[in-house]
Structures are given as C-alpha cells and as structure tokens.
Amino acid sequence: MPHRLRYPFHDAVPAPGATLEVAPGVHWLKMPLPFALNHINLWLIEEAGGWSAVDAGYDSEPTRAAWQAVFDGPMAGRPLERVVATHYHPDHIGLADWLSSRFGAPFHASLGEFAHARAVWHDLPGFDVAALNAHFGRHGLPAAQLAQYAARGNSYHWGVKSLPATFNRILAGDTLALGGAQWQAIPGYGHSPEHMALWCAERGVLISGDMLLPKISTNVGAWGSDPDVDAVGQFLASLDRFLALPDDTLVLPSHGRPFVGIRPRVEALKAHHAERLEALLAAVIAPVTAFELLPALFGRMFDLYQTMFALAECIAHLNHLRQAGLLRREAGADGCWRFERT
C-alpha cells in the first residue's frame, strides 16, 4: 500500500546558511552531517525581537560556518532567545552550548535527554565505551570489533565539544510559548531517553525530531546503560500519540522533507517493525546470538560505525520478542546470550 505522504515543499530546499519559511514564522534550516545520513533539519521560530532555535546541529566547521551565514543573513542581526533540543544525539545538541553561550540564550530539554547527554559525555560508568562493549560482547560482537570500539574512544565527543551546564526542563505535556504561539511537548521513547516533539495546533505544525521521519525508519536501540529495554515496544507505543493530531498537520522531521500524512506514516512504521519482528523470529531456528541475526534483520552486514546502530536495533527487537514471550535467552559457555524460541 502506498504511503500517500504529501511533500508541500518538494521543489524547495534551503541551501546551507539560508532558510525557508514553511509555516507562519517557522523557518527550515538544512545543515550538513559527516555521515551517510548527510543532513539534519533545524528550525528557527521568529520572536518579536529575536529567534528561538529548535535543535542546534552537529559541531563541525561546515555547520558553524552555515550558522554564521544564518546569523549574518536570515536572522538579520537579531539574537537567539532560546535553544530547544528535541533529544541528546550529537546532530541535534552538538552546537547547543555554542549557540546558547553566544547569545546568553537559555537551553531547554527534557531531564532524560539533558542527564543522558552529560552521562555519555563524561563517560560515566554504564554510559561509557566499556559498558557498550560489555553489552555488545554479550550479544556476540567479535573481539576484533570490540577492540576497534575501545580504540576509537568516546565518539559522542566528535560532534559535541561541550554541553550546556544548566537547562530549563521540559516535561511531557508542557506548553512552550514560541513565536507568540503555544507548542505542546509530546514525549517519545525508544529512540532516545525522553525525546520531545513539539506540536503547535494554531500553526498546524509538528516538529517531530527523529520520532517521525518520512523515508527512513527511526533507529530504535538497546544500549549499554539500559541493555534489556524493550525499545521497540516503547517506540511503537509512542507513535500512537501522534495519531491524535489532525490529519492535515505539517510534520517537520529532522531528516528528509516536511510532509503531511502522520497516519499513513505511522501505519507504515508499525507494519515495518511487525514485518522485521516476524523475519527475526523466523530466523531463530537453533540457539543464536544477536550478532549472528544481523543478516536476518537487515539482509546485509555493515561497516564498523553502522554495526553499532544495527546491533543495538537487533537487540531491541529481540528484547521485544522476549517481552512478548516468544523468545528466551541463555548464556553459553562463552558468556554470550543465545536466543531460542519458547
């Protein structure tokens, strides 16, 4: 069944350093990323005397240069009054401290995202590379790859040179006044600890962050600090919150183009995960590790960087099947979890 998404701005994309107004007072910025996923969308909301930013971009020279062009051009010399982060991932929060320090602008985020960012940045036990490697090792990632992760160190620092020291906490359901309108914070789980999307009924706009993307499915993972989490179940339950929004809502995603079609997109994502869960379960014939199941889940293997996300995603799906009582796991003599059907 086709997704039936509409892309009202299919011909127009803002160049780095430029903006495109996608709703009254809401401007789209597209910033570069040094990955296969090569861009992130940020949002500037026009205030009476300045601007609010939603998400900040990955800390890199090209992104700082693009921001400088935005300061000099579209922002017309008016300051940032606040910086809001949907979640703690580097492409969203990387330049939050730089922006908020430059303008003396308060930083807004949920406690889950703020605290998690700091725990990862400061290598706290459970959030560090050792914990990630212990987790991935238990799920069968070979020693050679674990050694490469250990040698690489804390990759969070690549895109986040510093973090705001203090924050203004956003609670689920809170209303933020941005650009003279009310925006409701909608929590989301499974992709990050306490993601906040922002919905403005008056302007018919949802800033969806990474929770609702038009083309790619959001990464849903089980990581070192929360290894047995049913992130898939959390993510699917979170999607239901978006179904309550009007069908004609313009969704502003962090990757890809603004679109209309919350309902078909949520249905497609649910169908995608249901199909992946079924394929994964079918592949469990003899006791098997999460790492050995990567080809069954994705149909291919990955490079070192992508393996991290793929394995976390595979473990999250296995955790969901355990939660549903369809799989159980046992530790083998080598200390690795092996999954079998119940």
User: Quick one: 75 or 213, whose CB is closer to Zn ion?
Assistant: 213
User: Quick one: 82 or 116, whose CB is closer to Zn ion?
Assistant: 116
User: Quick one: 47 or 210, whose CB is closer to Zn ion?
Assistant: 210
CB of 84 closer than 8 Å to CB of 176? yes
For residue 85, which of 104, 63, 48, 58 has the smallest C-alpha distance?
58
- Total residues at interface with Zn ion (CB under 5 A): 2
Among 210, 230, 292, 313, indicate the residue that binds Zn ion (CB under 5 A).
210
CB of 119 closer than 8 Å to CB of 127? yes
Which structure tokens are listed for 198? 């922002």
CB of 5 closer than 8 Å to CB of 214? yes
Scanning 44-52, 142-150, 209-217, 262-270 for contacts with Zn ion by CB under 5 A, the matching segment is 209-217
Scanning 100-108, 181-189, 205-213, 236-244 for contacts with Zn ion by CB under 5 A, the matching segment is 205-213
In whole angstroms, the minimum distance from the beta carbon of 174 to Zn ion comes to: 20
Q: Under the criterion CB under 5 A, does residue 116 sit at the interface with Zn ion?
A: no
Scanning 65-73, 120-128, 145-153, 208-216 for contacts with Zn ion by CB under 5 A, the matching segment is 208-216
Q: How far apart are CA 206 and CA 22, in angstroms?
A: 11
Q: How far apart are CA 170 and CA 115, in angstroms?
A: 13
User: Which alpha helices (DSSP H) does 30-174 contain, by range?
Assistant: 61-72, 90-93, 96-103, 111-121, 129-138, 143-152, 156-159
Q: Which stretches of the chain are assigned E, i.e. beta strand?
A: 20-23, 26-32, 39-46, 51-54, 80-84, 107-109, 168-169, 175-178, 181-188, 195-200, 205-209, 250-253, 259-260, 327-331, 337-341
Scanning 84-92, 156-164, 280-288, 291-299 for contacts with Zn ion by CB under 5 A, the matching segment is 84-92
Scanning 69-77, 122-130, 207-215, 292-300 for contacts with Zn ion by CB under 5 A, the matching segment is 207-215
User: Quick one: 95 or 284, whose CB is closer to Zn ion?
Assistant: 95
User: Quick one: 33 or 294, whose CB is closer to Zn ion?
Assistant: 33
User: Quick one: 116 or 320, whose CB is closer to Zn ion?
Assistant: 116
Q: Under the criterion CB under 5 A, does residue 89 sit at the interface with Zn ion?
A: yes
Q: Under the criterion CB under 5 A, does residue 317 sit at the interface with Zn ion?
A: no
Question: Where on the chain is the footprint of Zn ion (CB under 5 A)?
Answer: 89, 210
